[in-house]
Amino acid sequence: DTAVSQTPKYLVTQMGNDKSIKCEQNLGHDTMYWYKQDSKKFLKIMFSYNNKELIINETVPNRFSPKSPDKAHLNLHINSLELGDSAVYFCASSQRDQETQYFGPGTRLLVL
């Protein structure tokens, strides 16, 4: 059983399009996260979210928005995609803030 799953695994799209990446965790965790990993493998947190609070990294463009239909899901919606958005996006979860994180397999986004 996959603890943290993401769909799709690969996403190729044109500039200007809007796309979503889905994330689900079956660990019963309270907190979920989105990360962006660039071509140099640098991993940067984008959002942290529990059922009460959304913490946004101030460097993230407002074209990116997390949406959580329930505690087990945190989807990432991206408007007006740009070339620089090409990266691998990882979802993660933890039982509580500052504890061990469990990562999904990643979504490889390529913007043409």
CB-based contact 100:33 (threshold 8 Å): no
Q: How many CB atoms lie within 10 A of CB 44?
A: 13
CA angle, 94 then 100 then 106, to 5°:
70
Nearer to other proteins, 42 or 69 (CB): 42
In the complex, least distance from residue 61 CB atom to other proteins, rounded to whole angstroms: 19
How far apart CA 107 and CA 112 sit, in angstroms, is 16
Residues 56-85: x where in contact with other proteins by CB under 8 A, - otherwise, as a string = ------------------------------
- Which one of residues 11, 21, 22, 48 is an interface residue with other proteins (CB under 8 A)? 48
- Which one of residues 45, 65, 72, 77 is an interface residue with other proteins (CB under 8 A)? 45
Nearer to other proteins, 41 or 83 (CB): 41
C-alpha dist (Å) from residue 32 to 17, 39, 81, 83: 25, 23, 23, 26
CB-based contact 105:21 (threshold 8 Å): no
Q: Which helix (H) or strand (E) holds 26?
A: none
User: Does residue number 42 form part of the binding site for other proteins (CB under 8 A)?
Assistant: yes
In the complex, least distance from residue 32 CB atom to other proteins, rounded to whole angstroms: 11
Q: By CB under 8 A, name the binding residues for other proteins.
A: 4, 31, 33, 40-45, 48, 55, 90, 92, 97-106
